Amino acid sequence: MPHKTNTNPKQTLKAGAIICPICCVELIEEEVDFEIDGAILHNVKLLRCPICQEEQFTPQQQQAIEEQLRRQET
Ligand SMILES: [Zn+2]
């Protein structure tokens, strides 16, 4: 297993406030059913721009998705 080193200091950007780079508005957290590679994940949290509907995931949300996918693997 590769070793991960956390050498980066935590970013001091406002946590939980991610801005759409196109519209410059705060993205809104939503819970959706999400399909990825044929697997349906329920209650997946993502961030959506209320204007352009662009979806983004925070690193934590991506991690949660990967964990759900791993759990669904047979
Ligand atoms: Zn937008």
Close Cβ partners of 31 (under 8 Å, ≥ 6 residues apart): 43, 44, 45
Distance CA 47, CA 61 (A): 9
Domain segments of the chain as ranges: 36-72
Close Cβ partners of 22 (under 8 Å, ≥ 6 residues apart): 49, 51, 52, 54
What pLDDT is recorded for position 2? 65
Would the pLDDT of 32 be above 60?
yes
**Biggest CA-to-CA distance, the chain:** 42
Distance 7 CA to ligand 1 centre (A): 32
Distance 61 CA to ligand 1 centre (A): 19
Q: Confidence band (pLDDT; 50, 70, 90) for 11?
A: very low
Would the pLDDT of 63 be above 80?
yes
Contact 56, 47 (CB under 8 A): yes
Q: What is the pTM of this model?
A: 0.63
Distance 19 CA to ligand 1 centre (A): 8
Instruction: Name residues with Cβ closer than 5 Å to ligand 1, which is an ion.
Output: 20, 22-23, 49, 51-52, 54
